[in-house]
Amino acid sequence: MRLSGLLIALLLPAAVLAQDEAQLQKERQALFFGHDDRVNIAAPYAAPYAAIGRLEVKSGGTCTATLVAPDLALTAAHCFLMTPRKIDAGRWFMAGFHHGKYQARYQVTGQLFHPKFRQGLTYKGDDVYIEPSAAPYDIALLRLKLQDGIAPSPMPVFRGNRQRLMQAILRSQQKVNQGGFAEDHDTILSAHLGCLLTQLRSNGTIFHRCDTLSGDSGSPIWIDLPTGPTLIAVQSSAPDWFNRQQADNVGVTVLQLPAGAGKLLPK
C-alpha cells in the first residue's frame, strides 16, 4: 500500500513534525551565516527586479534566471543537469514572477554552456555536487521567445576583463546584491542587498556571503555602478550547512560565459 506524502505527514506525531521543522530551521540559519538578511520585494517589481524571474525545466525543476537582452537570460548550468546522465531542457522563463503570475513569459528555445561543466558533476541520491573542475563553468545563456505579457527592461551585463571587474568590485567596497526565488518562499522574490563579496578568484568564480537556498541557483549577483545595476555573476553553489564555517557561497562571473556568448549580448 502506497501512501501519499500528505497522508504520511498527517499520520506522523506532531512532535516528530516539530522536530523536523526545528532541524530545517537550524540548517537554514547556518546557511544564512547565522542570520537571515533577505528582504521580500514588493510586487509589481520595479527595475532591476522585474528582469529576475523563475526558470522551469521540462522535468519540473525550478531555478532563478535574469533577462539580460530582449531574447536572452542568464542562469546556472547545473539547472539543466540535475538528473544523472541527462541534459534537461528549459521550458519557461517567467520574468517578474509573483504568486503564480508574471510580468512576461518566455519560451526557452535553447541553452548554451561549457561542455566541461557536465564532466565535473557527481550525483549522490537526489543531490548533485559540483566538483572543483566544473565549478568555473556553472553558467548558462538561455535563448528566449516572448510568448505573452509585457517585456521588462533587461539587466545589463558587465562587459570587461578581470582587471576592470576587480576595479568595479573595489569601488563598490565589495558590496553586491542578490535576488532569487528561494525554496522557503519560492513564489515571491527575495533579495539580500549589500552582501559581501569576499574574493574574486583566479578561475573566474567569486566567494560571497549573500543569503541563498535551493531555488536561488542561477540567481543574479549584481553591483550598483554609476550607470545602474549591472549583473556580474550568477549563484552557483553553497556548502552543506554543517560545513558553513569552512566556505562561503560560490558564484560564477560573466567572465566565464561560454564561447560565442559575448557576441549575442548587447554591447
Query: Residue 21 has which C-alpha cell?
Result: 521543522
Q: Which is catalytic among the residues 98, 114, 190, 217?
A: 217
First to last CA, the chain: 60
Strand residue runs (E) in 71-168: 72-75, 90-95, 104-112, 121-124, 127-130, 140-149
Q: Of the residues 78, 98, 114, 208, which is catalytic?
A: 78
Q: How far is CA 44 from CA 72, 150, 257, in A?
A: 22, 12, 30
Residue 218: CB atoms within 10 Å: 29
Q: For cell 551585463, what's the residue?
A: 157
Whether 99 is a known active-site residue: answer no
Nearest to 205 by CA among 267, 164, 248: 248
Using an 8 Å Cβ cutoff, are 172 and 151 in contact? no
Q: Are 63 and 142 in contact (CB under 8 A)?
A: no
Active site residue 185: no
Catalytically active residues are 78, 217
